């Protein structure tokens, strides 16, 4: 990608949000398919994301879209499943007074 930094063969989905009234209607699957299409257009071979371990709905969505978790396996950017990250919002505010177990998930494009 022209913005540099990331390796050309890897894309990362930072966030997927659907308005509560539009959930369970396939909107998130369409968003994921579009993200994958953009990544393919960039020449990426893999697309990665992280998901909170206790978010069953998101994990189910990503699995339905073909993503797999990598338990205990180092990925090319040195993350592992269940790495603990503080649960921050993008603007830096803490959403909950806890850390979330994040699972790295990936799909080969």
pTM above 0.75, yes or no: no
CA 66 – CA 29 distance, rounded (Å): 11
Q: Report the SS3 class of residue 74.
A: coil
62 is catalytic: yes
**Ranges 1-10, 30-39, 61-70, most confident:** 30-39
Show the tokens assigned to 27.
Answer: 């909107």
**17 pLDDT more than 50:** yes
Show the tokens assigned to 55.
Answer: 């978010």
Q: 99 forms bridges with which residues in the sheet?
A: 86
CA atoms within 13 A on the CB side of 34: 7
67-96: pLDDT as tens digits: 988 655 444 443 433 444 445 455 555 555
The catalytic residue among 12, 62, 67, 85 is 62
């Amino acid at each position: 990608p022209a913005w540099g930094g990331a390796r050309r063969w890897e894309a990362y989905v930072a966030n997927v949000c659907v308005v509560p009234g539009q959930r369970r209607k396939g909107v998130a699957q369409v968003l994921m398919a579009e993200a994958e299409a953009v990544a393919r257009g960039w020449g990426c071979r893999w697309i990665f994301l992280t998901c909170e371990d206790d978010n069953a709905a998101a994990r189910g969505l990503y699995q339905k879209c073909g993503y797999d978790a990598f338990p205990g396996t180092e990925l090319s950017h040195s993350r592992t499943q269940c790495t603990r990250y503080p649960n921050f919002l993008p603007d830096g505010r803490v959403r909950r007074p806890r850390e979330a177990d994040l699972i790295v998930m990936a799909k080969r494009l």
